[in-house]
Structure 1
């Protein structure tokens, strides 16, 4: 029991202090049954990483293939897990930089709790699964930090929109058997700076506006020009034609001629 407590404290300390940014090592669960197999690999650039582990018994920091597991290409395989394989695993660069410290628990018991190994982002949903070696569809009781939470009829408990308050130590009980504890870590949403404005987008918007508004400007200019140069009523030429009187208008023809002649006769004295 004391060894299990030391193992859990070591794993918990490593999870809380380990860097999880740019994590190259990932697992779907941190708990495994004895005599099952496990394959680990340092992702992103396997050639630049070395998978190492430490255990409470010897405190050794041995790489894969040095007393545990065997190398298969860029992966490390453990064919038959035993409780002594429980411990802290991480990826390390040739410069000694450590990434993705995780805690793996191997149990000889009949029940395990499957939970996320790496921290979960705030606001995401998380499902914890309690299972035996043969099934995960039996009723299970779930506990957090030693306190009973609820019973799930199918052995799966979903935490919706997790927050920092959901962080803690979880375990489950199925058919009278209890799983080892598992730490669930919750991290905040990453803050990303607003994207920098792209000058090309501004140029494109200006061109689009010009393409749309130029035809309206040109048509308006043409209409104003036509309006200013249109002829007005006062500018129209007026011609008046005086028609001579006809005989049908009466007997005024001869008198009219005499009157005009008299009016235009020039007198000289």
Structure 2
């Protein structure tokens, strides 16, 4: 009985592994590669890509206010310009991602549209460790000026001409960034995301959004390939063990020699005098 339960448990684990979502290399491409825009700016172009090529069967979706809409939905300014690209007018922002027909998802990209006097130009897509990144504090009107930069509500310092350079970024540079000037209030906050340079995805201006590391992908693929073999082997062994365990035992009874009875009789004889 215990063997049967073990077999069922192994089979269930394998089914769960085989039915788990596949790690996707598809990502959302954003052009221009920025998170903050002034209201009324030129539209932003979005597409789903896989290793730099358009990914078939994937849809760009936007989530805002708890509602999710597909690119090209009727009556929405979140429209499709062809089979590969979507655009949205910069009246409202949201969180954008790519979703496949089977439910796989890419990393999410947050884009905000601001009516404030200043915005922070910060990459929408993750940057690779070891790369150099420049943030720009950009006013709606006029030229850039000396600006103050903030990460996670802590002032990092000031940069001339509205620039803040991050050299050889690492994980510690991740966080929510914003900026302000002597005459402009604080900009909206946006998160800088950093990925290890070993990540399979690129950090170019409009590359795919980084996915989980290749080692994780390989592990999942190996499990998917190896698991059915393990399940079949375990089930076969359990059936064999169960069959062997149910084989009736042969009972053997050996009779004692006659001489043994004589000895016993001699021992138990009583003598009366």
TM-score normalised by L of structure 1: 0.58
| Residue 173 (structure 1) aligned with residue 177 (structure 2) | no
The residue correspondences of 1:96-135 to structure 2 (distance < 5 A) are: 96-135=103-142
Equivalent position of 1:233 in the other structure? none
Per-residue deviation, 1:46: 4.7
- Higher relative contact order at CA 8 Å, sep ≥6: structure 1 or structure 2? 2
Equivalent position of 2:54 in the other structure? 45
Runs of 4 or more, structure 1, over 6 Å off, are none
- Counterpart among 79, 89, 92 of residue 70 in structure 1: 79
Structure 1 134/150 Cα, relative in aligned 2: closer, same or farther at 3 Å?
A: same
Equivalent position of 2:245 in the other structure? none
- Counterpart among 18, 25, 30 of residue 29 in structure 2: 25
Q: Deviations over 1:123-155 (max 9, x none)?
A: 111111110124553111111111111111111
Name structure 2 gaps, 5 residues minimum.
1-22, 200-213, 216-273
| Residue 183 (structure 1) aligned with residue 191 (structure 2) | yes
Tell me whether 36-45 or 92-101 shows the greater mean CA deviation.
36-45
Per-residue deviation, 1:107: 0.9
RMSD of the alignment, in Å? 2.2
Q: Which has the larger radius of gyration?
A: 1
Secondary structure of the residue aligned to 2:188 is coil
Per-residue deviation, 1:25: 2.1
TM-score normalised by L of structure 2: 0.57
Once residues 40 and 106 of structure 1 are traced to their aligned partners in structure 2, the CA distance between those partners, rounded to angstroms, is 16
Q: Is the 8 A contact 2:177 2:189 kept in 1?
A: yes
Per-residue deviation, 1:165: 1.4
| Residue 94 (structure 1) aligned with residue 101 (structure 2) | yes
The residue correspondences of 1:89-238 to structure 2 (distance < 5 A) are: 89-135=96-142, 137-174=144-181, 175-190=183-198
Q: Is the 8 A contact 1:130 1:136 kept in 2?
A: no
